[in-house]
Amino acid sequence: MQNTKARLGRVVDVELPGSESTELRKVVRAAIELAQATKHRRNGDRRSAGMAADAALLVTHLVRRAIEPAG
């Protein structure tokens, strides 16, 4: 996940620059951290796994929107 985390972080930095995107960058990074932390939990449960999956989907959708052409 570290490589994925680094790649997603780079996409966020490149595609969402500037102060107007500060909050969105924070949300994406927090969702990435949640997914990673949940994945590595020793005694995770179904609820935690579901939330991690939701976080991963959130990241996917936000990054996809970030790289779409404006217009």
Return the axis-axis angle of helices 2-15 and 46-67, rounded to nearest 10°: 40
pTM of the model: 0.69
Q: Which amino acid is at 53?
A: A
* Range of lowest pLDDT (13-17, 30-34, 35-39): 35-39
pLDDT of residue 10: 87
Q: What are phi and psi of 38, to 5 degrees?
A: -65, -40
pLDDT of residue 2: 66
Grade residue 1 by pLDDT with cuts at 50, 70 and 90. Answer: low
Percent of the chain with pLDDT over 90: 3
Residue 45 φ/ψ region, left for φ over 0, alpha for ψ in the -120 to 50 degree band, beta for the rest: beta
